[in-house]
Structure 1
Amino acid sequence: MAKDKVSMNHSMSSSVHVQSLKAKKKNNRWIWYVFLLPSFLGILLFMVYPIVESFRLSFYQSNGTIENFIGLKNFQQVLTSTSFWNSVWNTFYIAFFQIIITIPLGFIFASLINSVKFGQNLLKTVYFLPHVTSIVAAAMIFQFVLHPDLGVANYALEALGLPASSWFSDPATSKWGVILLAIWHWIGFVIIICLANLQAISPEMYEASRIDGANKFQQWLFITLPNMSGTFAFLLITGWIGGLQRFNEVYVLGGPSGSPARSIQTMGAFIYERGFTGFEFGIASAATYIMFIIILVFTFINLKVSKMKL
């Protein structure tokens, strides 16, 4: 009996102890929300509030202090603006040539690096360095490299017997100056992504095809390319999203108006010019949401073309 009472008291005390621990944990659970509070407040302040406020401003004529509700007139003004559609054309033009040049070129470089037995890490580092370089610093460097009189690019062209170019001084060539900068800055990322996928392809597939009599070109055509389709789709989508949001480099090279003659003004630069130079915050907000819809629709089309599921 005495032993039974002792065991019963022990079990009761254990049960009480467990319940007290659970109650203590339950009471201390709010502490975790305190740790999450700074991040939550940061998201509300720097992400949610600007999105909501920008949407509200898109229906107002506003200079930052005086507001007047005008409904959809801001959207109408943006959609009928020649400058806006010129910025859309510039954005798509630069992004298109950046993508169709950089992805194939990056894949070729990745294939060559993958075939090297020694020094792969060094080559990956060298090629990836431009991507981690500040785009503002890179744009300032390219201003010198592509300078019409002092730039090393024109010296190289003349040494090859080719005519020199005015680059950023001529509207006919300024877009290609931005494209060259974009290729130089993005190609390292493409190389690293392609190289990671190339190294993930099973060597047994190549060995089996070699036994069946496939040559190097056939292996590349029927094994490498099909296995790279997902990577190409990823690079295509991320390239378009990044390209359609282009702002920093064109602002450094041509200012908010995209000089010369608005030839390199992108949608982002148009929004900045109307909002922070012209103090037309309603029009800038409306243009922001139009740009968002354009990016959303274009991303959806890319996903469908790439046969990827949303």
Structure 2
Amino acid sequence: MANNSIELNVQMEVEKVRNKRKDWGLKWYVFLIPSFLGILLFMVYPIFESLRLSFYQSNGTVEHFIGLANFKSVLSSNSFWNAVWNTFFIGIFQIIITIPLGFIFASIINSTKRGQNFFKVLYFLPNVTSIVAAAMIFAFVLHPEMGIVNYVLHAIGLPAPGWLSDPSTSKWAVIILAVWHWIGFVIIICLANLQAIPSEMYEAAKIDGASGLQQWFFITIPNMAGTFAFLLITGWIGALQRFNEVYVLGGPNGSPARSIQTMGAFIYERGFTGFEFGIASAATYIMFILILVFTFINLKVSKMKI
């Protein structure tokens, strides 16, 4: 009887502990409510509201249903396709310059025995710099008359381009800024993968008589395939969403002559300058489809499973 009484008391105590844990578990969920409300209010609701507006002609106060007319208007707009061309031109050259250059710098840093942390910080500093502040500095540095770049070019007897005042050079000014700002991220990601490659592979290659350059081509680069795919995908997504720097350098219409207006700037111009929220919403979903398509293509080309 005494043993049964003890077992009963133990079971009761265990049950009390379980009930307390259940009560505390339910209470902790209460603390998640503000986060869920924030996600619903600032992420989920805008997505569906933008989708709804894409089927309406709306200036923010008055609206009426027009079906797919907004999508037809965007797809037939020369300004939109010019923005698409600018977006892809800047994005392509940013990627094909930054990824190889960042990989080379990462390989050099990885081969050094001292000062690796110093170089990591040095190259990553531009990435943590506000892109708006960086764009304002570049606007001054590349100024056709007061900029230090043209001053140096004049001093050594070279022609000084208009940079941000000439449509033929304005895209390259944005590309220079994009490469400078993104290359630190590429270096850090490549360096992390380089340091994860097993040293045994290099030791075996040395025994077989492979030179340092051969090891780099036949061991390092193949082992970096996954990293290159990741950088390519993230680079494309960022490039297709480019807005901040082109807005600072050229305004919503991408001056001069809309030469640096991207899809993001086109959406801002039509929505918050022209108050054509239906057009802006339709352009947003077209941009979303383009990002989705190119991400899918990149994954397939990289032979990665979705």
Q: Work out whether the TM-score is over 0.5.
A: yes
Hey, what does 2:32 align to over in structure 1? 36
CA spacing shift, 1:210–1:159, aligned 2, 3 Å: farther
State whether structure 2 residue 133 is matched by structure 1 residue 143: no
Match for residue 186 of structure 1 among 175, 182, 185: 182
State whether structure 2 residue 114 is matched by structure 1 residue 102: no
Identity of aligned residues (%): 75
Using the TM superposition, give the Cα deviation of residue 160 of structure 1 relative to its aligned residue in structure 2, in angstroms.
4.2
For residue 110 of structure 1, what is the amino acid of its counterpart? A
State whether structure 2 residue 16 is matched by structure 1 residue 24: no
Task: Give the Cα–Cα distance (whole angstroms) in 2 for the partners of residues 201 and 114 of structure 1.
Answer: 11
Q: Give 5+ residue unaligned stretches, structure 2.
A: none
**Where do 1:50-69 residues align within 5 Å?**
50-69=46-65
Secondary structure, in 3 states, of the residue corresponding to 1:61?
Answer: strand
Q: Deviations over 1:220-275 (max 9, x none)?
A: 11101101111111111110000000000000001110011100000000000000
Using the TM superposition, give the Cα deviation of residue 203 of structure 1 relative to its aligned residue in structure 2, in angstroms.
1.4
Deviates more, 1:165-174 or 1:198-207: 198-207
Q: Deviations over 1:89-127 (max 9, x none)?
A: 000000000000011111111111111111110011001
Hey, what does 2:149 align to over in structure 1? 153
Match for residue 236 of structure 1 among 232, 236, 244: 232
Q: TM-score of the superposition, structure 1-length normalised?
A: 0.96
Secondary structure, in 3 states, of the residue corresponding to 1:54?
Answer: helix
How many residue pairs get matched? 306
Secondary structure, in 3 states, of the residue corresponding to 1:68?
Answer: strand
**Where do 1:202-213 residues align within 5 Å?**
202-213=198-209
Task: Give the Cα–Cα distance (whole angstroms) in 2 for the partners of residues 93 and 33 of structure 1.
Answer: 47
Deviates more, 1:208-217 or 1:282-291: 208-217
RMSD: 1.0
Hey, what does 2:245 align to over in structure 1? 249
Secondary structure, in 3 states, of the residue corresponding to 2:57?
Answer: strand
Using the TM superposition, give the Cα deviation of residue 20 of structure 1 relative to its aligned residue in structure 2, in angstroms.
2.6
Task: Give the Cα–Cα distance (whole angstroms) in 1 for the partners of residues 155 and 189 of structure 2.
Answer: 35
Larger Rg: 1
Match for residue 86 of structure 1 among 75, 82, 85: 82
Q: Deviations over 1:33-81 (max 9, x none)?
A: 1011111011100100000100000000000000100010000100000
Hey, what does 2:172 align to over in structure 1? 176
State whether structure 2 residue 110 is matched by structure 1 residue 117: no
